[in-house]
Amino acid sequence: MITNQGAFVDPRGDGKAYFRQIALHDDKFLPQFERIAAMFKENGAVAIQQLLHAGRYGGIDNGFCVAPSVVPQTLPHFRPPREMSKEDIRLCIKEHADAAKRAVKAGFDGVEVTSFMGYILANFLSKFTNRRADEYGGSLQNRARFMREIIYEIKNAIGDHILSVRLNGTELMDRYGGNTEEECLETMKIAAECGVDLISMCIGWQESPESSIGRDIPPGHWNYLAEQAKREIPNVPIAFGVRLPDAVMANDSLVKGQFDLWEVCRPMLADPERIIKTAEGRLNEIKPCVGCLLCLSRLFRDLPYICTVNPVLGHEVEPEYHIKPPAYEKKVIVIGGGPAGMECAIAASQRGHKVAVYEQDSQLGGQLRAYAKCDLAIKEDLEDLLSYYEVMLKKHNIEVHLGAEINAGMFRKMLHRYDVAVVATGAGVDPGNLPGREKAVTAKAVLHDEVQCGKKVAVVGGGKVGLVTAEYLATTGHEVAIIEESKRLAEDVMPTWKWRHTSWVEELNIKKITKAKVKEITDAGLLVGKDGDETLVEVDTVVLAAPRVSRQGIFQDLEYMVDELHIVGDAVAPRGLYQAIHEGYRLGVRI
C-alpha cells in the first residue's frame, strides 16, 4: 500500500501547509493524480490518496489559519488563527468528501484523512485547540463530531473504497492541556465505530515540546501505543511505523500482533531499496535512516525533501546523479576516511574505478565516529551508518589503509600510481595566536578519550562540536561552561535539532556565556571579554571546539603531483554530515 502525499482540499488555501503542497480541490488536477495512481497500481500496490487540511498550521499564502477556536500559536512562525463558523465547518467537510471522490475518480483505491502532527482533524479533537461551546466542542464526543461527519461524508462519497484515518496515539501536548493517551485511544475507538477501514497511528504535534520521531527516541519506543490500540480495537487494522526504521524489528512486531501494517516513511527516503535488500537477506547493506530530521527541516522551510544519507533523493530523474560506467577506468586515491571520503570512494568504485582510501586514524569514520560515541542521542543510528560504510567498502573491493597519513613526501613515492586524488581530510580546531593555547586540549582529544579533564571545564565554541563535547563531559561528572562569541548557541545545528541541544544544556546545568571572546588561557582558566569587561572564568581544563578550520594543506601540496585533484566535505569548509555525504557522492559519480 502506497499513500501519496497529502493534498489540500479547499480552493482558498486555508488547508495549505507548505508552498509545494499538491491540491485536489478541482477536476483540473485529475490528470496528474491519474498518473500517480496508475504508477502505483501498475507496480502491484494498493493506491491511497491522503487528504491533508493543515488547520492550525495552514493558510501559508493567506496570512492567517483556520481552527475550531482562536488559541494563540505557541510557535511564532505559524499564522494567527481565525475561528471557523458552523458554515465553515460544513463547507470543510464537503470539500473533504469532494476531494475524496476525485481521488477515487483518478484511480486511487481509497483515501486517508489525516490529523498528522496537529492538523485540522487533531485541532477539533484536542481540548487544547478546541474551546468551542457549541456541539463541536466540550466533551470528547462533541469534539469528535467533526471527525465523525467527515468519515460519514467521505464514506457516502467513495462507497466501498478504502477509508483510512490517521490519528494521534499521543499528542505530547500535556504542557498545553492537550489530550491524554487515554483520550487519543478513545478517538480511535470512535473512528472504528464510524466504520473506517484502517487506522494509522501517528505521534505528536509540530508544537509538541517533547521529541517524537528524532534520533533521541529509541527505535520501537512508541510500539506500546500501537499494541494498546490493537488490543482495544481488534476489528480494525492498525498501521504504525513511528520511529521504527528497522525491518527486522517491524517484522517481529507484526508477528507479536502489536499492529497489522508497518508504515515505512523516512527510512525509505534513506534507502529506497530497503525492502528488497531485506527480502534478499542483505541487511548489512541497508543505508540506515539516522533520524536527524533533515527531511522535515527542509519541508517546514518550504524546500524539497532531501535526506542526509541519500544524496539521490529528489534527483532521481537527473542523469548526473546516476551510477554509470566511466569512459575509462581510473586509479583513485581518497585521502581521508570520513563520511565524505567513504561516500566518494564507494560511488567511484561502483562506476568501475579502482579506489584506495588512506585514513590517518586507526579507524574509519573521521569526526563522525567520535560524535557517535559521545552523542547523547541513540548512538546506534550513527554507528549503523559507519558499519554500512565499512561493509560497502569491502563489498566494492576498495583498498583501505588505516594509520596512514599522506603527506607530500609520501605521495612523491606514489607518483604516477594514481590518476585522481580526492582530499577529504575534514576540519580541525585552530585557535590562531590565542595566548596560552598550549594549555588547552582539543574537543577531538576529549571525545576520543585521549585526555583527562579536571572537575571544572570550559568548552570554547557553542556550535555542534562544542555542544556534544560539553554534554558528554557533563554526563561524566564534570562542571561545564560553554564560551561562545555569537549571540546564541547551536548556530550550525540543523533547525529541527537546535531545541534538543538547548534542552540538554538546561537539563545538565551547563553554564552558557555568550557574546564572549576568549582573550587568554591561563593556569587559572580563561580570560573572557564580554560587554566591554574582562572576566576570569576559573576552570581546571579548557577544551577548544572552535574555531573550526578546514585541513587543506595536502590539497596545495598535490597541485602538481596528480592529473586530477578534488576536495570535498569539511576540507572545503567546516559544515555537517549531510554536506559531506552529498558532496562525496556527487564527486564519486562523475570522476
Question: Which residues, other chains included, contact 79 with Cβ-Cβ below 8 Å and sequence gap of 6+?
Answer: 58, 59, 60, 62, 63, 64, 65, 73
Q: Give 64-72's long-range contacts (Cβ < 8 A, gap of 24+).
A: 65/14, 66/14, 66/92, 66/120, 67/120, 67/123, 67/129, 68/123, 68/124, 68/129, 68/130, 68/131, 68/132, 68/136, 68/137, 68/146, 69/129, 69/130, 69/131, 69/132, 69/137, 71/128, 71/129, 71/131
What pLDDT, on the 0 to 100 scale, is given for residue 532?
Answer: 85
Residue 98 within a domain: yes
In whole angstroms, give the CA distance from residue 352 to residue 331. Answer: 10
* Domain C-terminal end among 210, 242, 275: 210
Summarised one tens digit per residue, pLDDT across range 104-139 is: 999 999 999 998 789 999 999 999 999 999 999 999
Are 564 and 583 members of one domain? yes
What pLDDT, on the 0 to 100 scale, is given for residue 479?
Answer: 97
Number of domains within the chain: 3
DSSP conformation class of 485: S
In whole angstroms, give the CA distance from residue 421 to residue 344. Answer: 11
Residue 230 within a domain: no
Residue 88 within a domain: yes
Are 529 and 577 members of one domain? no
Q: Which residue has the cell 469528535?
A: 144
Are 556 and 471 members of one domain? no
Are 416 and 448 members of one domain? no
Dihedral over alpha carbons 103, 108, 113, 115 (to 10 degrees): -110
What pLDDT, on the 0 to 100 scale, is given for residue 494?
Answer: 87
In whole angstroms, give the CA distance from residue 309 to residue 251. Answer: 24
Domain region containing 520? 437-548
User: CA quadruple 99, 102, 103, 109: dihedral positive or negative?
Assistant: positive
Helix, strand, coil: what percent of the chain each, to 5? 35, 20, 45
Are 421 and 530 members of one domain? no
Q: What is the CATH number of the domain that holds 412?
A: 3.40.50.720
* Domain C-terminal end among 170, 188, 210: 210
Report how many helices (DSSP H) and strands (DSSP E) the chain contains, helices first.
Answer: 20, 24
In whole angstroms, give the CA distance from residue 236 to residue 486. Answer: 53
Residue 176, judged by CB atoms within 10 A of its CB (0-12, 13-18, 19+), counts as middle
What pLDDT, on the 0 to 100 scale, is given for residue 302?
Answer: 78
Are 338 and 369 members of one domain? yes
Q: Which residue has the cell 527480502?
A: 279
Per run of 10 residues, the mean pLDDT along the chain (length 591 residues) is: 97 94 97 98 97 97 97 94 98 98 98 92 98 98 98 98 98 96 98 98 93 91 97 97 93 96 94 94 96 86 89 95 96 98 98 97 93 91 96 98 94 91 96 94 94 96 96 97 95 90 96 95 93 92 96 94 96 96 98 96
In whole angstroms, give the CA distance from residue 187 to residue 143. Answer: 9
Residue 337 within a domain: yes
Residue 276 within a domain: no
Q: Which of 401, 378, 465, 382 is nearest to 428 (CA)?
A: 465
Q: What is the CATH number of the domain that holds 179?
A: 3.20.20.70
What pLDDT, on the 0 to 100 scale, is given for residue 115?
Answer: 85
